[in-house]
Structure 1
Amino acid sequence: MFAKGQTVIQLMERLAPKHIAMPDDKIGLQLGSLRKDIRTVLVTLDVTDEVVDEAIALGAELIIAHHAIIYRPLAHLQTDTPAGRLYEKLIKHDIAVYIAHTNLDVADGGVNDMMAEALQLQVTGHLEDIHTDKLKKLVVFVPETHQQQVRDAIFAAGAGWIGNYSHCSFNSAGTGTFMPREGTDPFIGKPGQYTQADETRIETVVPASVQNKVVQAMLKAHPYEEVAYDLYPMDLNGRTFGLGRVGKLNEPERLDAFAERVKMGLDVPFVRVVGDPAKPIRKVAVLGGSGSRYVRHALFAGADVLVTGDIDYHTAQDALAAGIAIVDPGHNAEKILKANVASWLQARLDEQKSATKAVASKIDTETFKLL
C-alpha cells in the first residue's frame, strides 16, 4: 500500500518540524496537492528543469527539496518564463513540491549535523540558538488497568523528555470519584450511580510545540468517555535548536589538510580557503548554505575555522584580519542532505510497511564550474 502525500510529509516533519524554521522562511507545500497516493518521492537540493525531468522519469508524485521554488508572492504566472515553464511542467505531470529549508538546517540530524558528521567533528554546540521550546506539565488521571497504554501513547507523541532522558513521568495511586449522568456510557460504573475507581495520576513534561499532538494521543488511548486532565505552563525551557554547529577535531591539523578533509567529506570538486595554509585547526564551526554573516558567531565561539558557502570578498578580508580561517565549499555542499534524507525517510516508510519509495536525486545542481 502506498502512503498518502500527507503521511509522507508528517513523517518528514518528524525530522524537520516546521515550527523550528527561521521566521518568514519559505517552507511547506509550495505547489501541487498532497491528497493522493505517493509511489515515489524524490529528495533534492534544488528543483531545476533537469530535476523535474528526473522526477517524471521516476514516476515521482512528490519532490521534497531544500531550496524554495517560490520566494515571494506571485503577481502572475507566465509560462514563457523559466520559472513559469518549471511550474507548468510540474503541474502538467501532477508533481507536488514540498520545501524543508531552515527547519532541516536546524533539526537534530539535519543538514548541519550531516555536514559536521562528514567532517568527523565532535559537536559541542550551535553557532546560533534560534528556538527554545517552552515546557508544560501534563497531569492525567487514568484507571490503573490502562496507565501503561496511556503512558506509551503520550511518550510516543513527544512527551516525557528531560534533557537526554526520555519516558520521564511520575505516577501516584489514588481514588477517583464520579457519577455518570443520564445519557452517558461510562467505562466504569453505571449512570446514576456514585462511583469510586482505582486510578493513577500520571505527570509528565510536554514541549509546547507538540502539546496538541500529545493531548490528542492521550485522549485516543484513554478509555474514559470524559478524560480528567490538567495542562500547566512552566517557567522552564525545553530543547534548544540552533543554526550551524561548533565542534572539535580529534587531533589538530593544518588548514590545508583540513581543506582536503572538507573536499572529501562534502564531495565537492574545490574549496576556497582564507587563511595561512599552515594554521593549526582544532575547533571548527560549520554552517550549510550562505554563511557570510556568521563569521562573528564563529569568532565568538572560539572557532579556528568557519566552513560555509557564499563568502564575499570583504567578509573574507575581515575574517583574515580577525584571525579566523574560512573554508568555502560552496552553497551546493548542502547536497549531502539528498542521500541522508532519502535514507531516513525510507526507514520511516518501511516502519509503516508502506510501498512508497524515497529516492535521492542524482542530478548535480552545482552552478559553478572550475576552469
Structure 2
Amino acid sequence: MSKLASGQAIIQEFESWSKKKYAEDGDPIGLQVGSLNKKINKVMTALDVLPNVVDEAIREGVDLIIAHHPILYRPLKKINLDTEQGKMIETLIKNNITVYAAHTNLDVAPGGVNDMLADALSLKNTKVLVETFQNKYKKIAIFVPATHEVDVREALSNAGAGYIGDYSDCTFSSNGTGRFRPTEGTTPYIGETGELEAVPEVKIESVFPEDLQSKVIRAITKAHPYEEVAYDIYPLENESEKLGLGRIGHLENDMTLEEFASFVKDKLGASGIRIVGDLQSTVKKVAVLGGDGNKFIHAARFSGADVFVSGDIYYHVAHDAMMEGLQIIDAGHNIEKIMIEGVQKKLQSFMQDKHYDTEIIPSRVITDPFQFR
C-alpha cells in the first residue's frame, strides 16, 4: 500500500528551506489556488503556471504544482471565466490541482535560485550580492545526565543547531553536578520522591538560528530522559547569517567576455543573450541574479564584478551600466527555469527520507515567451 505525503507535509518541509520570511514585502507567495489538505500522489515543479503547463499537469495526473512565479501576482478584483487567466483558474479547480508559489523567498534561500545559477556557472567563493535578510542566532545550554549526552547532542544537530559557517555539529560540553528534589506527583527518571538527589550531568551548549527555536526545544525534550528538561536560551550579539538576492563569485579560469557569454548561454540553457561591453575584455569576477536585474546594476558595480549576469535589462539601464564600466550579459528572465529540476531534487530527497511514495516530476513545457532568430 502506497504511503502518500499530504500537501501540508510537503509544503512544511519546503518552507523549512525556502522560508516565507525570506520573501520581499508584498510578494504574493504561498498557496495560490486549491487546497493543501489532501494526499498528494504527484507534484510538478514549474517556473511559470500557464495554460500549457496546466494541460501538462492534467496529462501527468498532477495534484500539486510548486511554481516560482505566482499566477496571482496582482490582487484579483474578479475571476472572469471569459479571460484566459479565468479559464485557467477554473481548469485548475475543476481538476483539483493545487498551485503553490515560492518567489523571492526561493531566490534568497541558501541553495535556492541564485545559488543554483552560481553553481551552474561554477562560481567560486560566492557571497550574497544584495543583503535583504539577517537571521539572528541564539545559544542554548542544556543540562543532561552523562548517559544521554550523545543522544541530546545528536538531537540538537538533527534539529539544525550547531552550524557555524561551514562547520556543522558544533557543541561544547562541560561536566558538573545537577541537584534536584522530586516533589509529590512526579515520576523521576533518577532519584526518589522527596529526596534531594545529586547527579553527574553534562552541560551542552550550541547555537541555532532563532527561527528554529521551537524545533530545537522539541528535539531535546524528546531525546532527554527527564520529565522536566532544564535548559537556558540566550540571545547572541554575534554577527549572524546574512541572506539576500544575487550572488558574487570568481571564475575558476579567466575568460574573455565573448567566451564567457557563450559559456553562460550553454550552462543556463538560454535561447539567446544580449551583451553589453568589450567582447575581448577579461572576466574574472561575476555577479549573477535571477529575474529582473535592473535595480541591481549599482550593487553589481560596487561589488567589483567584471560582468553582471541577469535578465530583462532596460535600454537606458544598459547605458548607465556602460558609463559605470559594468559589463552585462542579459540571458533572459527564463534562466530561472534552473529551479525546476533544483526543487525537484530537493523534494525527492525529502520523499526518500520520509519513505513517501509521492512522485516529484519537472515540468517540460517551454514557457519562455521570446524566440530568437
Indicate the SS of the match to 2:239.
Answer: strand
Amino acid at match of 1:339: E
- Say whether the 8 Å CA contact 1:246–1:301 is kept in structure 2: yes
- 1:169 aligned partner: 171
Amino acid at match of 2:108: V
Indicate the SS of the match to 1:237.
Answer: coil
Q: Separation in 2 of the partners of 1:85 and 1:209? A: 40
From 104, 113, 116, give the equivalent of 1:114: 116
Amino acid at match of 2:185: G
- Say whether the 8 Å CA contact 1:115–1:288 is kept in structure 2: yes
Amino acid at match of 2:32: Q
From 24, 38, 41, give the equivalent of 1:39: 41
Q: Separation in 2 of the partners of 1:210 and 1:30? A: 26
Comparing 140-149 and 265-274, the one that deviates more = 140-149
- 1:285 aligned partner: 287
Q: Separation in 2 of the partners of 1:29 and 1:223? A: 40
Q: Separation in 2 of the partners of 1:133 and 1:249? A: 28
- 2:250 aligned partner: 248
- 2:298 aligned partner: 296
1:357 aligns with 2:359: yes
Indicate the SS of the match to 2:227.
Answer: coil
Unmatched 5+ residue regions in structure 1? none
Q: Separation in 2 of the partners of 1:172 and 1:194? A: 22
Q: Separation in 2 of the partners of 1:252 and 1:148? A: 47
- 2:73 aligned partner: 71
Report deviation, 1:292.
0.5
From 335, 338, 341, give the equivalent of 1:339: 341
Q: Separation in 2 of the partners of 1:219 and 1:235? A: 26
Q: How many residues align?
A: 371
Indicate the SS of the match to 2:136.
Answer: strand
Deviations 1:62-90 (A, max 9, x none): 11100111224333333332222222211
Q: Separation in 2 of the partners of 1:213 and 1:29? A: 23
Q: Separation in 2 of the partners of 1:342 and 1:18? A: 19
Amino acid at match of 1:12: F
Cα gap change, 1:327/1:11 in structure 2, threshold over 3 Å: closer, same or farther?
A: same
Alignment of structure 1 residues 176-195 onto 2, 5 Å: 176-195=178-197
- Say whether the 8 Å CA contact 1:286–1:307 is kept in structure 2: yes
Amino acid at match of 1:335: K
Amino acid at match of 2:250: K
- Say whether the 8 Å CA contact 1:123–1:245 is kept in structure 2: no
Report deviation, 1:156.
0.9
- 2:323 aligned partner: 321
Amino acid at match of 2:256: R
Report deviation, 1:202.
1.1
Indicate the SS of the match to 1:177.
Answer: strand
Q: Separation in 2 of the partners of 1:78 and 1:147? A: 61
- Say whether the 8 Å CA contact 1:274–1:320 is kept in structure 2: yes
Q: Separation in 1 of the partners of 2:196 and 2:256? A: 78
Comparing 206-215 and 247-256, the one that deviates more = 247-256
Amino acid at match of 1:172: S
Alignment of structure 1 residues 73-112 onto 2, 5 Å: 73-112=75-114
Provide the aligned C-alpha RMSD in A. 1.6
- 1:152 aligned partner: 154
Q: Separation in 2 of the partners of 1:23 and 1:216? A: 30
- Say whether the 8 Å CA contact 1:132–1:237 is kept in structure 2: no
From 218, 228, 231, give the equivalent of 1:229: 231
Report deviation, 1:226.
1.4
Cα gap change, 1:242/1:88 in structure 2, threshold over 3 Å: closer, same or farther?
A: same
From 126, 129, 132, give the equivalent of 1:130: 132
Identity %: 49
Q: Structure 1-normalised TM-score?
A: 0.95
Amino acid at match of 1:47: V
From 5, 8, 19, give the equivalent of 1:6: 8
Report deviation, 1:214.
1.0
Unmatched 5+ residue regions in structure 2? none
Comparing 271-280 and 182-191, the one that deviates more = 182-191
- 1:53 aligned partner: 55
- Say whether the 8 Å CA contact 1:67–1:100 is kept in structure 2: yes
Deviations 1:279-309 (A, max 9, x none): 2222111100001111101110111111100
Report deviation, 1:23.
2.6
Indicate the SS of the match to 1:348.
Answer: helix
Report deviation, 1:241.
1.2
Indicate the SS of the match to 1:180.
Answer: coil
Indicate the SS of the match to 1:236.
Answer: coil
Q: Separation in 1 of the partners of 2:249 and 2:89? A: 40
Q: Separation in 1 of the partners of 2:122 and 2:237? A: 37
